[in-house]
Amino acid sequence: MKPAPVEALPDALLGQIAKRASVRSFPKHAVIVMEGDDTDTLYVLLAGRVRAYVSAADGRELEVNRMGLGEYFGEVTLDGGPRSASVAALEDCRCAVVHRAELNQLLSEIPQFAQHMIRKLAHRVRVVTESMRDLALMDVYGRVARLLLDLAEAVDGKLLIPEKLTQKDIAQRVGCSREMISRIFSDLSEGGYVRREGSTIVISKKPPARW
């Protein structure tokens, strides 16, 4: 079962953080942080969405997370190490920018924020553990089927994925080639498990755990 996500920061807490931090805007597709950098800044999303990903030397990418309003990234650098992933804007974004010294002060002065960060870090450990298990024990088809079911929502009597996903997006999330995703979707479509309505993926019936 996919770990339940940690709720976003409430508006009141977002307001407290924004008042004590500088605010920056980033255009769509901008890379806000780069994997391996030694910067120590926390970014709190006040508007927009971003994706976090890791890259291989040959340019391949594996998407590890997507975040929106009230979520934040960069807290892993609290240990003094480099960035563990890159983060890019999926749309125009506005962020409260908090440097490490300011962050330490915020955490001591706003205990609700410290508690939220602890829950979020614990959640990320669970997500990483689940991802490692999937990569080690599931084949590509199994990872695709699990991703589709995790993202699906019941809307107007249909089970669909509201997020607009391309085959490239799915390939980056499960760690395989786009060509492999194309073959899997062709098989799922022929079997009557999934179909597309415009840019939306509809799950007609639950895909089997193994193909």
Helix pair angle (167-174, 140-151), 10° resolution: 110
At 123, give phi and psi (nearest 5°).
Answer: -60, -40
> Which DSSP symbol is given to 84?
S
* Tens of pLDDT, residue by residue, the chain (211 residues): 455 567 889 898 998 998 889 999 999 999 999 999 988 899 999 999 999 999 888 888 888 889 999 999 998 777 778 898 999 999 999 999 998 888 888 889 999 999 999 998 888 888 888 877 776 657 889 889 989 998 999 988 889 998 888 999 999 888 888 999 999 999 999 999 999 998 899 999 999 877 6
Rounded to whole angstroms, how far apart are CA atoms 184 and 142? 10
Instruction: Supply 71's token pair.
Output: 């979520």
Residues 6 or more apart from 133 whose CB is under 8 A from it?
A: none
CATH architecture of the region 11-136? Sandwich (2.60)
Check residue 2 and give its pLDDT: 53
Check residue 3 and give its pLDDT: 57
At 186, give phi and psi (nearest 5°).
Answer: -60, -45
Check residue 199 and give its pLDDT: 85
- Around Cβ 143, how many Cβ atoms within 10 Å? 20
Check residue 76 and give its pLDDT: 79
Instruction: Supply 163's token pair.
Output: 């997020």
Rounded to whole angstroms, how far apart are CA atoms 109 and 130? 34
* 3-state SS, residue 135: helix
Check residue 139 and give its pLDDT: 87
Does this model's pTM top 0.85? My answer is: no
Domain positions in the chain are 11-136, 139-203
Residues 6 or more apart from 110 whose CB is under 8 A from it?
A: 13, 16, 17
The alpha carbon of 83 is separated from its chain's Cα centroid by a whole number of angstroms, namely 16
Work out the burial of residue 11: count CB atoms within 10 Å of its CB; fewer than 13 is exposed, 13-18 middle, 19 or more buried.
exposed
Instruction: Supply 103's token pair.
Output: 């962050």
Sign of CA dihedral 40, 45, 50, 52: positive
CATH class of 139-203: mainly alpha
